[in-house]
Amino acid sequence: MRYLNRLFSPAQQSFFLFGPRGTGKSTWLAQAYSEAILVNLLDGASYRAYLANPERLETLLKTAPEEAVCIIDEIQRAPNLLPVVHKLIEDGAGVQFILTGSSARKLRRGGVDLLGGRATVKTMHPFLAAELGSRFDLDQSLTHGMLPLVRAASDPAEVLDGYISLYLEQEVRAEGLVRNIEDFARFLEVMSFSHGSLVNVAEIARECEAKRTTVNGYLSILEDLLIGRYVPVFSRRAKRELVAHRKFYYFDCGVYASLRPFGPLDKRDNVAGPALEGLVYQHLRAWLEYGKGNGGKLYFWRTRSGLEVDFVVYGEGEFWAIEVKNSERVRPKDLNGLAAFHEDYPEARRLLLYRGADTLSIKGVTCMPADKFLHGVVPGRPLPGDR
């Protein structure tokens, strides 16, 4: 598949570019900065050389032209390069640094200063539907997800099946993050049942036959590697008793689908429903982090009595309550959560996404086809359904 233009906007100054493997960071950089000086820390010789002598970077850049761009790929492999980069920026070397990696949290956990605020932090997400245009197919996306690595493959299912194995080998085992890689692989499968659900560490530990401390460590690894992300409950001006646990999502619905076991006792909707919710989640996350959200954050809302809204987008000029239903028609009970939320927060705009073909207005709720909504999620524009 021809590589498509991304809606990601780079910073004008030096910046970190984080994101899980396969989101297209290196391909995008090769297109956008074809003349850049590249330090590839995945290359064994380069890795060993810069790990042993990070000052080599200064020597490399002494002859660089003015306003040169230097890309350091997989910076977390040699964090001792960061003080050298920091010094070059402070000295006014005139070089824009782009530092890629899998996670900012991973560096921070190692006690590494992210250049003292001298570089912004950006994240590359999987494709948006708007980036794929007419190539976006909802059913295919729910099965194979939106990773450029997978979408470009001649056999997407095969690449997706091997994706987590790649992570296990290159990120988890190689970095010595867990003692037993087989137990961690089992944990990844168990977590697929929590995709789009509340995280209950005690239940996950029982299912994995592991200690709670072990599971908490595994959850931190998912967050460090950006494989899994969490959504907190929206509790501002709360008028009802709310749940305390966060919701969990794998960063890509295709990765979720590949990890979720499916057999004769499973209903198709039990997989497709969370996949659709996850697809909406990753679009909203990208929309916010690519800069449209004006500092807005992503939440969910759920009362202890069971009333729920899948997503709440809240920030300056943004207040949305969004419900996702994997059905071709809107039933009255589908609106119960949004109705309760409206009672407490009449300021919020309400949106229900479903698998039907028509855009409807029911009791003040805009009901929109999910694929139409996803196509319209474009950084720099209001969310679809805005009136």
Give yes or no for residue 63 having a pLDDT over 70.
Answer: yes
Q: Would you say 273 and 353 are in contact if contact means Cβ atoms under 8 Å apart?
A: no
Kindly report the pTM of this predicted structure: 0.93
| pLDDT tens, residue by residue, 331-355 | 999 999 999 999 999 999 999 999 9
Burial of residue 264, with CB atoms counted within 10 A of its CB: 0-12 exposed, 13-18 middle, 19 or more buried = exposed
* pLDDT band, very low/low/confident/very high, at 177 (cuts 50, 70, 90): confident
Give yes or no for residue 1 having a pLDDT over 60.
Answer: no
Domains and CATH numbers, the chain: 15-123 (3.40.50.300), 129-376 (no CATH)
| pLDDT tens, residue by residue, 43-59 | 999 999 999 999 999 99
| pLDDT tens, residue by residue, 115-173 | 877 888 899 999 999 999 999 999 999 999 999 999 999 999 999 988 888 877 777 87
Which DSSP string corresponds to 44-57?
A: HHHHHHHHH-TTHH
| pLDDT tens, residue by residue, 295-318 | 789 999 999 999 999 999 998 889
**pLDDT of the residue at 169:** 74
- From CA 110, how far away is CA 76, in angstroms rounded? 9
- Per the model's pLDDT, the better-predicted residue between 111 and 387 turns out to be 111
- Per the model's pLDDT, the better-predicted residue between 99 and 106 turns out to be 99
Mean model confidence pLDDT for the chain? 90
Burial of residue 118, with CB atoms counted within 10 A of its CB: 0-12 exposed, 13-18 middle, 19 or more buried = middle
Q: What integer is the mean pLDDT of 174-190?
A: 84
Give yes or no for residue 188 having a pLDDT over 80.
Answer: yes
Question: β-pairing, 247-250 with 197-198?
Answer: antiparallel
